[in-house]
Amino acid sequence: MSEHTPSDGLTLDEQLCFAVYSTAHAFTAAYKPALEPLGLTYPQYLVLMILWEKDGVAVKDIGKKLFLDSGTLTPLLKRLEKAGFVRRQRDSADERVVRIFLTDRGREVRKTGAEARAGVVCALGGKESEIQELRAAVNKMREQLRAGAPRPT
């Protein structure tokens, strides 16, 4: 098993990071056929998922859930508003806060969202238990990365 190249574990296919990176893109592509006809992108769909769970969430809290900042969310939410899925409204009790509310249209598309997920789950080959197991492992990895990465101190 002699290696003609100095193999230091830096082969692309050996990398967990690349596996995750490329699979994330594959997920986005897998959802696209279901979302595109609605005029939704995948990150926009994630925002709607949060709102389906609890309406009137502040931008900041959406950011915490999705790990995104206002630089990403503000324009995204404006596009969602323009497309008629949500309403953006300043919190009268704290004028710094902008709360996001679903419109009727925003609530309507939940059905289609559920169908989208069903289709993708199907493509994954069934077994919900396996999927949940994998999800837990991937989430754990994310938390470890987030714990290891932050500021030096």
Check binding of 10 to a second copy (CB under 8 A).
Answer: yes
Answer with the entry of a second copy, DNA, none that 139 interacts with (C-beta below 5 to 8 A by kind).
a second copy
Among 49, 50, 97, 120, interactor with DNA by CB under 7 A: 97
Angle at 151 between CA 148 and CA 153, to 5 degrees: 95
- Residue 99: strand, helix, or coil: strand
Check binding of 29 to DNA (CB under 7 A).
Answer: yes
Length of the chain: 153
Q: Which amino acid is present at 83?
A: A
Nearer to DNA, 28 or 112 (CB): 28
Check binding of 24 to a second copy (CB under 8 A).
Answer: yes
Please check whether residue 89 is in contact with residue 77, taking contact to mean a CB–CB distance below 8 angstroms. Answer: no
Please check whether residue 73 is in contact with residue 63, taking contact to mean a CB–CB distance below 8 angstroms. Answer: yes
Check binding of 58 to a second copy (CB under 8 A).
Answer: no
- Residue 112: strand, helix, or coil: helix
Nearer to a second copy, 93 or 137 (CB): 137
Report the interface residues with DNA, using CB under 7 A.
Answer: 21, 25, 28-29, 32, 41-44, 58-60, 63, 67-77, 79, 88, 93-99
